[in-house]
Copies of this chain bind each other. A is one copy, B any other.
């Protein structure tokens, strides 16, 4: 019923939504939160859109294109921000950036 492209995207969105939630929580436990404020803000938006995209695609795929376009865009912004902190040794940002990159790719395959 649902083809492989949708299955991949649902899985990538769920993994990304979870990674973003965990990253934001761990950012809030760091010493210098101010430096991470943009990261937390993007994590929160990314989590909302990722769960919504997975939810919508598992109900039906006919309206997924715009939502996946938006999801890819937010994931890319979140990955870029997380990568800055990953380079400074923050593992939660590294994991989150990887999940965001995979999700960007999977969403672009649906959006296009």
Q: When each residue 23-66 of chain A gets 1 if its CB lies under 8 Å from chain B and 0 otherwise, what string results? A: 01110110101100100110011011101101110111001011
Q: Which B residues are in CB contact (< 8 Å) with A88?
A: none
How many interface residues does A have (CB within 8 Å)? 41
Nearest CB on B from A27, distance (A): 9
CA distance A54 to B26 in the complex (A): 17
Contact A66 B69 (CB under 8 A): yes
- A22 CB–B CB distance under 8 Å: yes
Give min CB distance, A79 to chain B, whole Å.
14
Nearest first, the 9 closest Cβ-Cβ pairs linking A and B are: A52-B52, A66-B70, A21-B58, A33-B33, A18-B58, A28-B37, A67-B70, A48-B55, A21-B59
